[in-house]
Amino acid sequence: MSFFAGYGPLAELALLNMVLAFSQYIVLRAGVFSLGSAAFAAVGAYAAAILATRYGVPPALCMVIALVAGGFFGAIVAVPLARLRGVFQALATLALVQIVLSLALNWTSLTDGALGINSIPKAVHITEAAIAVVVVAYFLHVIGMSGIGRGFDIIREDETVAVSLGYDVRKHHMIAFVLSGAIAGLGGAMHAFSSYSITPNEFGFHMVVMLLAMVVLGGRVSIFGPIVGALILTGLPELLRGFQDYRSIMQGALLMLSITFLPRGIVDTVLGRLRHRSLSRGASAKDRDGVTI
């Protein structure tokens, strides 16, 4: 138990990061190159913190409202963003992060500016965070198995094929944005209820890079990708405690190495190898005609 006592806060952080990583995961899975999860998280976190500290709304309700607000915000920005592709989508979503950040810094009557919002009740502990991870992961798994998940996969791989099979790319991109917004809205609110205070700069470029790194390192197809990515990137700084100064350098190097040498991410690569091995074993017993390995 002492082990958990010492690492409790770290585990809680890892779980909360998983929720946010799911938000980044779902857009990348759908072939949407959005870097906007940090903006959605900021919307959720500020909505929850303001409601809880100024209007005394109970935390659970705040989190539901944050989820809806994030999803709603995702839906609004999806209207222009779903028309864009690739690089343009990435740039436009980065601009979105910057707009939200500037508003959080400068709309002081609402957000208290750079000081942030303090004395938020501590309502999220390790249990609540774990429940959120399981629930979000379950829904993402279900969606992944459904026709919508198939649409995401084929749109990500080849948009031309997708339209030739009758998939509505715009609709799928919109759905991905709404899901990403809702999940990040929830994740942001949970972050607020876990850490007593929030400041605008937490939702800036640093968060964008962290979430992207988690999903790239972990993997973009399997639901376990963002889970593993968040675990590694939350735990790594602890392992490197003596090397505080080199944390960002390690993170940057990890990002470069994984996208170059493990472009599919750890989980998807490992799952692919395992599947191939079990299939080969089955096939060698039977007929291997036509199978080129």
Residues between 257 and 286 with contacts to other proteins, criterion CB under 8 A:
259-260, 263-264, 268, 272, 275-276, 279, 286
| Dist. CA 16–CA 235, nearest whole Å | 13
Q: Which is nearer to other proteins, 130 or 259 (CB)?
A: 259
Is 236 exposed, middle or buried, given 0-12, 13-18 or 19+ CB atoms closer than 10 A? middle
Shortest distance in whole angstroms from residue 102 CB to other proteins:
4
User: By CB under 8 A, is residue 248 in contact with other proteins?
Assistant: yes
Identify residues 171-190 at the interface with other proteins (CB under 8 A): 171, 175, 179
By CB under 8 A, is residue 236 in contact with other proteins? no
Residues in contact with other proteins, counted by CB under 8 A, come to a total of 84
- CB 216 to other proteins: min, Å: 5
CB 211 within 8 Å of CB 225: no
**Per-residue mark of binding to other proteins, 151-170 (x: CB under 8 A):** x-xx--xxxxx-xxxxxxxx
- Determine if 232 is a binding residue for other proteins (CB under 8 A): no
Say if residues 194 and 186 touch (Cβ distance below 8 Å).
Answer: no
Only one of the segments 49-57, 59-67, 124-132, 245-253 lies at the binding site for other proteins (rule: CB under 8 A); that segment is 245-253
Q: For 168-197, give the DSSP string.
A: -HHHHHHHHHHHHHHHHHHHHHHHHHHHS-
76 in contact with other proteins (CB under 8 A):
no
Can you tell me the distance from the alpha carbon of 17 to that of 234, in angstroms, rounded to the nearest whole number?
8
49/66 Cα distance (integer angstroms) = 9
Task: Give the nearest distance from C-beta 193 to other proteins in angstroms.
Answer: 25
Q: Least distance from C-beta 137 to other proteins, angstroms?
A: 12
φ, ψ dihedrals at 117, nearest 5°: -105, 130
Residue 186 CB, nearest approach to other proteins (Å): 15
The terminus-to-terminus CA distance of the chain in angstroms comes to: 48
Q: By CB under 8 A, tell whether 287 contacts other proteins.
A: yes
Residue with Cβ nearer other proteins (25 or 167): 167
Q: What residues from 196 to 225 belong to the interface with other proteins (CB under 8 A)?
A: 205, 209, 212-213, 216, 221
Q: For other proteins, which residue of 65, 68, 98, 201 counts as binding (CB under 8 A)? A: 98
Q: Please identify which residue in 60, 61, 99, 239 interacts with other proteins, judged by CB under 8 A.
A: 99
In DSSP terms, 38 is beta-bridged to none
Q: Which is nearer to other proteins, 122 or 170 (CB)?
A: 170
Encoded amino acid at 149, one letter: G
CB of 107 to other proteins, least distance (A): 9
Which of the ranges 12-20, 66-74, 223-231, 255-263 carries the binding residues for other proteins, by CB under 8 A? 255-263
Tokens 């913190």 sit on residue: 49
Distance, CA of 48 to CA of 121 (rounded, Å): 11
Task: Give the nearest distance from C-beta 152 to other proteins in angstroms.
Answer: 11
What gap in Å lies between CA 110 and CA 186, rounded to an integer? Answer: 20
What is the number of other CB atoms lying within 10 angstroms of the CB of residue 216? 23
Q: How far is the CB of 120 from other proteins (least distance, A)?
A: 24
Give ∠ CA 133-176-52 in degrees, rounded to 5.
50
